[in-house]
Structure 1
């Protein structure tokens, strides 16, 4: 008998690559819309997105992972996620090329992150899942931002 537990994931595309985050971290999936610009932010910070009256700091997730900046299409979405940082949880909008599906995998399907041959920093990779159509990269949201970056994003959102 296997000790594997089931993970529910939301998969999304950035260019040709497929990524995933645990469904437990996803608050909402919004159609893409222009953000309210915040001056002097990092390049990947697009601004604030209004979600039912609340300003959500929104980032170009492609740029954050070191890929080329996004170009909005009909499929572009904002994935509103909870990012665990230090002593709190930061609500963040991730602009992604397309949201694909909610799927289930078991923890025994998860392979360790490769440390060579990928275009983005493997620090953010929680693991890799092999599927018939290729690999899905599980993003470790807690490692996407340093504590300083998370603090700066939270301060800008509150301003």
Structure 2
């Protein structure tokens, strides 16, 4: 019996890999721009990006996943997402190499996360979808930004204010 549950996602690229986050978590997609640098933050914390007068904490998603840094290109975007936490949603800007499309996956298309053979921690993976042109990795955004990250990011931003 096939699972008819569907999930809509925004797919984006980091290097050769394709990732996805649920469209319900995406607030906005911004063209890349330089951030207001925040000193003494974690390496992946780039700073603050202005989104219609509101400062959005912006991180290099490649670095956060343990991938090497890449210089911005004309395709680089900032994916503004709500990270679900226990007590609230944390709005973050994720710098990605390129945003690809909005896709719909059926539940029966989503396989469990592999536990070997990937370059990033597999507990960040919510599932994998096989497509004719390769795999799409569904990112468990709440696990990427653990409870340990939140105080660190909050403290860095508070010191910059």
TM-score band (shorter)?
over 0.9
Q: Could you state the TM-score of these two structures normalised by the residue count of structure 2?
A: 0.95
CA distance in 1: counterparts of 2:35 and 2:44, whole angstroms: 12
Aligned residue in 2 for 1:53: 53
CA distance in 1: counterparts of 2:6 and 2:120, whole angstroms: 27
CA distance in 2: counterparts of 1:27 and 1:155, whole angstroms: 24
Shift of 1:146: 1.7
SS in 2 for 1:69: coil
Deviations 1:72-104 (A, max 9, x none): 000000000000122111000000000000011
Q: Cα RMSD between the aligned structures?
A: 1.1
Aligned residue in 1 for 2:122: 122
Shift of 1:108: 1.0
CA distance in 2: counterparts of 1:38 and 1:57, whole angstroms: 10
Shift of 1:145: 1.5
Q: Could you state the TM-score of these two structures normalised by the residue count of structure 1?
A: 0.96
Instruction: Say how many residue pairs are matched.
Output: 159
Aligned residue in 2 for 1:21: 21
Q: Which runs of 5+ in 2 are unaligned?
A: none
